[in-house]
Structure 1
């Protein structure tokens, strides 16, 4: 990604210098050699050419940065179109005004006589500059749009090409074999104490296994269905942890039908239990919070304990989550892991589709 951005930046600057350099050469050539009445010293045309190319490259680079800041390519809304039109006219007027003012003063200084720049010259210059800036915007947006479409196609191809490998990795990350082994041993011990509860736990374990296998075929699942698996996981974990594990959830009911990547919540809960609650003598509390804002679904799992990311198993679990989010959402999703007041917070922000 970093290499691609560097290449794109280099290409942008090459095109900037080539494009504005050509226009500068054409402008200077037409005035110095083609139009005979343009009587002036050669040094003036050099100065005017330098001013023209500096303003052209400088102002359009600022315009490009502004288009990137408002994310015009990604979000071509009415609001962004209006902002772009305003920026277009401001850039064109500023370009023309600075060019006329600087060139006029340079002409007077170099030729030692007053310039004859009139309102007609200003208007014609403004019209020409406006046309140049317009075509610059059209070409820039077209190139960026094509590049973005190509990038999206490549990302989709990468996602499809890595599907089989991703399915295997997802299986490993979704339902930990050690968890299954421990659960079966715990259920076997539970049979001696409570047969009905042991039967219920076996049902929960089989539902988790079936869910894990089926979810390899889809990229998204409703939050309501995901919460059922989380409940199963919590109940199975309580067989071993008993009163050491306290679980709460705070879920906005209006979000239950929203779709998220399968097993992501379960993986967050598993990480909180494995590296948080189970390592503490007195156990602790896990709280699942699901909310939203105008643009994102926020999945948050808090657990009492301290942040420890130096173990291989922790990194594997976190890398699994990050990789899946990147494949599905690119740079639009965020995964944050932090420690706040002796509590570890794992937060995933997913864009609303």
Structure 2
């Protein structure tokens, strides 16, 4: 007999649990379809209050109905739909129901809040990625016009002095532009490819400045395949030639050094001269470098331009991971 009683108790315990599932499922569906969790205005508060007490009432009614059915079957008395009439008993059951639904509501809102936060975070990441890509495309689009404008000015000045050298310069310029536009759609290229662009630019500049321009480089061979933003070294070399060597009657030297450690790639371009920025200069090339490094690597990358011991040194640090 005790086994039979225990079976009924387990059975109706499960039935009571199902009653809770039914009540909270309807509660959840109502909240999902009628409550705006982002705004949560007065109307949402009213609807939430209605849903909360409605769920409490439904859960209480289903639980009491289960108890009545259990008592009717176990005591073998006629089924009578009679809820608790004792005030203390009613208060105790109602309080238990209220607490359970209240705890369920807190859990539901917490989970809902976490899910919404994750969705918003993903949306922000997607938006930031789209914005970052748009900014990078804009910056990359600045490089070629900037380079082309300076090169055309150099060709124009040289044509008045030496037509043959001007033609050679135009041929070199054509090759460089082909390279520049081809790499304009990517965010990074191997260092070795960037060095090819630098060599072409130095050759182009020497057509105009001849022996006044000396170029030396020291490259860590282990760094040749490391990806870097395209045209970034070329812009530094161009800046050193245009604002440094070209303004010195006796000319000077541009020195490129590339080194690395386990965490960073170090690019240094040093040139003879002083750090002077013309009043009419937009510093487009330097701004472009800073902004691209920030967008691609955040605070992990750095760019510094300074005058050291009678020369100008531009230093870039790029993280390897």
Q: Which has the higher contact order (CA 8 A, sep 6+)?
A: 2
Secondary structure (helix, strand or coil) at the match of 2:247 reads coil
2:266 counterpart of 1:294: no
The one of 182, 186, 191 aligned to 2:154: 182
- Give yes or no for contact 2:144–2:180 (8 Å, CA) kept in 1: yes
Query: 1:159 matched to which residue of 2?
Result: 132
Q: Tell me how far apart the structure 2 counterparts of residues 145 and 247 of structure 1 sit (CA, whole Å).
A: 53
Cα gap change, 1:224/1:304 in structure 2, threshold over 3 Å: closer, same or farther?
Answer: same
Query: 1:168 matched to which residue of 2?
Result: 141
Cα gap change, 1:170/1:254 in structure 2, threshold over 3 Å: closer, same or farther?
Answer: same
Q: Tell me how far apart the structure 1 counterparts of residues 230 and 157 of structure 2 sit (CA, whole Å).
A: 27
RMSD value, Cα: 2.8
Query: 2:289 matched to which residue of 1?
Result: 321
- Give yes or no for contact 1:220–1:262 (8 Å, CA) kept in 2: yes
2:273 counterpart of 1:305: yes
Per-residue CA shift, 1:27-50, capped at 9, x if unaligned?
xxxxxxxxxxxxxxxxxxxxxxxx
The one of 234, 237, 245 aligned to 1:269: 237
Alignment of 1:211-222 (within 5 A): 211-222=179-190
Q: Tell me how far apart the structure 1 counterparts of residues 121 and 306 of structure 2 sit (CA, whole Å).
A: 33
The offset of 1:252, in angstroms, is: 0.7
Alignment of 1:129-208 (within 5 A): 152-162=125-135, 165-173=138-146, 175-183=147-155, 186=158, 190-192=162-164, 201-208=169-176
Secondary structure (helix, strand or coil) at the match of 1:288 reads strand
Secondary structure (helix, strand or coil) at the match of 1:299 reads strand
Secondary structure (helix, strand or coil) at the match of 2:305 reads strand
The one of 208, 211, 215 aligned to 1:240: 208
- Give yes or no for contact 2:136–2:295 (8 Å, CA) kept in 1: no
Cα gap change, 1:190/1:217 in structure 2, threshold over 3 Å: closer, same or farther?
Answer: same
Cα gap change, 1:150/1:285 in structure 2, threshold over 3 Å: closer, same or farther?
Answer: farther
Q: Tell me how far apart the structure 1 counterparts of residues 264 and 279 of structure 2 sit (CA, whole Å).
A: 30
Alignment of 1:1-40 (within 5 A): none
Cα gap change, 1:146/1:312 in structure 2, threshold over 3 Å: closer, same or farther?
Answer: farther
Secondary structure (helix, strand or coil) at the match of 2:217 reads strand
Cα gap change, 1:164/1:264 in structure 2, threshold over 3 Å: closer, same or farther?
Answer: closer
Cα gap change, 1:294/1:239 in structure 2, threshold over 3 Å: closer, same or farther?
Answer: same
Q: Tell me how far apart the structure 1 counterparts of residues 255 and 134 of structure 2 sit (CA, whole Å).
A: 37
Q: Tell me how far apart the structure 2 counterparts of residues 284 and 145 of structure 1 sit (CA, whole Å).
A: 57
Cα gap change, 1:163/1:260 in structure 2, threshold over 3 Å: closer, same or farther?
Answer: closer
- Give yes or no for contact 2:151–2:173 (8 Å, CA) kept in 1: no
Q: Tell me how far apart the structure 2 counterparts of residues 340 and 157 of structure 1 sit (CA, whole Å).
A: 40
- TM-score, length basis structure 2: 0.57
The offset of 1:352, in angstroms, is: 0.5
Secondary structure (helix, strand or coil) at the match of 1:324 reads helix
- Give yes or no for contact 2:267–2:315 (8 Å, CA) kept in 1: yes
Q: Tell me how far apart the structure 2 counterparts of residues 198 and 309 of structure 1 sit (CA, whole Å).
A: 28
Cα gap change, 1:267/1:150 in structure 2, threshold over 3 Å: closer, same or farther?
Answer: same
- Give yes or no for contact 2:273–2:311 (8 Å, CA) kept in 1: yes
- TM-score, length basis structure 1: 0.52
Secondary structure (helix, strand or coil) at the match of 2:181 reads helix
Instruction: List gaps (5 residues or longer) in structure 1.
Output: 1-141
The offset of 1:149, in angstroms, is: 6.5
The offset of 1:167, in angstroms, is: 4.0
Cα gap change, 1:188/1:341 in structure 2, threshold over 3 Å: closer, same or farther?
Answer: same
Q: Tell me how far apart the structure 2 counterparts of residues 237 and 185 of structure 1 sit (CA, whole Å).
A: 12
Secondary structure (helix, strand or coil) at the match of 1:348 reads strand
The offset of 1:161, in angstroms, is: 3.1
2:195 counterpart of 1:227: yes
The offset of 1:317, in angstroms, is: 2.1
